[in-house]
Amino acid sequence: MRSLDSERAKFAIRCTDGLDDKQAKYLAAVNRVGPMLRQNGLVQTGLFCIGKKGEDIRVFEHIANWLRDRENPITSPVVLELNGKPLIEFWQGTLDLDALDVALLEEESRRICNWLKRVCEARSPADAGTSDQGAG
């Protein structure tokens, strides 16, 4: 049995495979979305990203896909009836959930967002080898 963190990491790796020349824009979007989740909550951040398009919506599609993923035993049962719906209907459907379920989804969204950021930073050729320069 794998840990949930290893499932998150595996999912983040799949999401960032093939970004190539869009890697920097995707990382910038992840760096915007993470703080927005903390400040504005899940629904407002989701609707903002849907309206903004570009890499922001791709990041939020990845977050929504993780929340709906069957490998995610924490949130997939909460959003089961929202599976298969378009992204806008998925996020609107979260408005009908109780506060504890929304808090659970928000926390899990922040966790997968952190994994997306970690994987992007690890794959970023511009930052390769620079993180340990002042360490010693």
What residue ranges do the domains of the chain occupy? Answer: 22-123
DSSP 46-105: HHHHHHH-HHHHHHHHHHHHHHH-TT-TTTTTTTGGGTTS-HHHHHHHGGGS-HHHHHHH
pLDDT of res. 135? 42
Contact 88, 60 (CB under 8 A): no
Residue 114 Ramachandran class (φ > 0 left, ψ -120 to 50 alpha, else beta): alpha
Neighbours of 88 (CB within 10 A): 12
Query: Which has the closest alpha carbon to 48: 22, 59, 76?
Result: 59
**pLDDT confidence bin for 134, thresholds 50/70/90:** very low
Q: What does the block give as tokens for 48?
A: 């903002």
pTM of the full structure: 0.81
Residue 126, token pair as written in the block? 């511009």
Q: What percent of the chain has pLDDT over 90?
A: 35
For helices 54-68 and 23-40, angle between their N-to-C axes, nearest 10 degrees: 70
Which option is the CATH number for 22-123: 1.10.645.10, 1.10.520.30, 3.30.930.10, 1.20.1260.10? 1.10.520.30
Residue-wise pLDDT tens digits, 84-111: 777 778 877 888 888 888 888 899 999 9
pLDDT digits (tens, 9 = 90+) for 26-62: 999 999 999 999 999 888 888 888 888 788 889 988 9
Q: Residue 74 pLDDT > 50, yes or no?
A: yes
Of 49 and 71, the structure prediction assigns the larger pLDDT to 49
